Structure 1
Amino acid sequence: MYKRKDSPKVNDYVICTVTSISDVDVKVSLDEFEDFNGIIPIDELSNKRITNPRILVREGKKIVCLVLDVDAQNRLVTISLKRVDKNKQKAKIFEYKREMVAYNILKMMSEKENIDMNKLEKEIIFKIVPENKLYNVFLETYINGKGVLDKYKISKKYSDLLYKYIINYLNPPKYEFAYILQAYCLDGDGIYKVKEFLKKIKDLNITIKYLGSPTYMLKYVTTSPSDLQKKEKEMLELINKEAKNYNIIYEISKYERD
């Protein structure tokens, strides 16, 4: 994993590896930062009275801690284990694992293309980090195209190659919704109106599967949870609006797999 050259900030959550344990504190190294160490005072280990710190931690164990104070000059932080919010702890671990996914794509690119990893750190990683996360940028690139990399002034030589590896190896999770729609129109030109109504829905990039008159399945798949929520709201609003415009009678219900 790459090592950031900047410093964590107060109230940041950091991934640490325990290096030594004494009766007064626990010393750690910060996994995400270059040559950065941390100290957990004994009273910041737990809300309970602890006589033996090894009940909670051991040398080599990875833990998530909250930053209380930063000495950037000496690359040292004072951190807490007892003040860690469980939800934020889970979010930090999730973020770190995703960053490892992105880093491993670069590592694969380094090995397959015979490019020194130090070169990729200079030409790609530290043009993105710390302003953004590698995984976030890779995911945005996967969704919106290679032009995303141009914002970070990555040379064409590397952006073309990186884009190929992102598309082939990122494999982001997919999010989807599906609805069952029953729609019909009693007007003389009802068939035409239903077709136009469905075309409006399809124009939102919704996949429509005919299940037998007058029933259809509407499905949308994306790599972004926020996009999914936005598209679902947009689709339902459009159906309600266009049903009135075309005099469509409809019923719609969410399709849930067993």
Structure 2
Amino acid sequence: MGYLEGLFSLEGRNALVTGGSSGIGKAIARALARAGASVVVVARREAELKAAVDELTEAGCRAAWVSGDLATRAGVRTVAEEAAGVFGEPDILVNSAGINIRPPLSELTDEDWDRTMAVNLEAPFLLGQRFGPRMAERGYGRIIHVTSQQAHRAFVQSGAYGVSKGGLESLARSQAEAWSPYGVTVNTLVPGFVMTPLNERLSSDPVKVAALAERTMVGRNGLAGDFEGAAVFLSSPASAYVTGQALFVDGGLSVH
């Protein structure tokens, strides 16, 4: 095995990627699969899941999909068991699934709050509880949460969404404290504004899109593919001494 393969290869590893049928999650699932991992993609819509996995298998990757609802505890537990039954217990868990309900805070309902917290924060917690200790027992694990600029600052009506992502970054630190002594690293990827279906409300407004691009240092908004290299790094042996961290993949938006 060459030097780079030794650092970054995911051969022999199993990965579970929630929200892996579209956007950032899909790009991450593709990257992990092409780096050698066997990937199970989890989302709700079967047609999108099948299309995403077909792309991977046609490219020679080992991939499968599981459809499920991450908005309930029972749904999360069912998804976890089904996913673990495909290729085996995951060595890599990527929590990219999320919902983006952002009315003005004064109009936020209890139902909006509960559903946002369930999908964006509680599901990653429950999946971590299911898989983190077993990763620790095996001596290798990688947990990656996809968060948001709104975990660090309020803008474009952060509301419950920003709270859920801030909680997710705190969860990553707690998980890192619990399991990193046993070979499990836990980190977050922090996007800037990325042109994905989750951001459809903003991406359909060319004036706002241009204004957000101007806030970056590279002069453009993000694309889902911008996360592939960072995801492979945080999933690989190369990141063994990186844990509890928030890696901003945002073109410099957060520091400009």
TM-score bracket, normalised by the shorter chain, equals: under 0.3
Larger fraction in strand:
1
Larger fraction in helix:
2
**Greater RCO (Cα-Cα under 8 Å, separation 6 or more):** 2
Compute the TM-score of the two structures, normalised by the length of structure 1.
0.25
Compute the TM-score of the two structures, normalised by the length of structure 2.
0.25
